[in-house]
Amino acid sequence: MPKLYEYFGLIILFYSHEHEPIHVHGRFQGKESKAEIVFLNGKFQEIVISNVTGKEPLDVQNMRKLKKIVELYRDDIIRKWIDFFVYNIEISPEKITKKL
C-alpha cells in the first residue's frame, strides 16, 4: 500500500491490488474516501470523490483537501500510478507542508 503524500494528517495512497480507473484513497483518523481521475477520449474531465465500501467517509473539509491535492498533483499521481502498477517501481512518499 504505497503512500504518496501526507498533508496535515491526510494520507493519500494507492492500495497495492488496485484497478483502473486511476484513483487514490484519502485517509484521515480512520475515515476514508477515494478520488478518481476521470478521462474521456484521452482528455482530463474531472475528479470524482466517492465513498469506500465499508469505511466511514472523510468529513467535508478533508474531502475538499483530497480533491485539491488530486487537482494540483494529478500529473504526478498518474506518473506514480504508471511507475507502481506498470513498471513495479517503488514509490517514495512526500510530505506536503505548505498550505494549498
pTM over 0.85: yes
pLDDT in the model for residue 47? 97
Strands of the 10-13 sheet, one edge to the other: 43-51, 31-40, 23-28, 10-13, 3-7, 94-96
Peptide bond between residue 57 and the one before it cis (omega within 30 degrees of 0): no
Mean pLDDT of the chain: 95
pLDDT in the model for residue 16? 86
pLDDT interval class at 95 (50, 70, 90): very high
**pLDDT (tens digit, 9 = 90+) per residue, 44-75?**
999 999 999 999 999 999 999 999 999 999 99
pLDDT in the model for residue 18? 77
**pLDDT (tens digit, 9 = 90+) per residue, 21-32?**
999 999 999 999
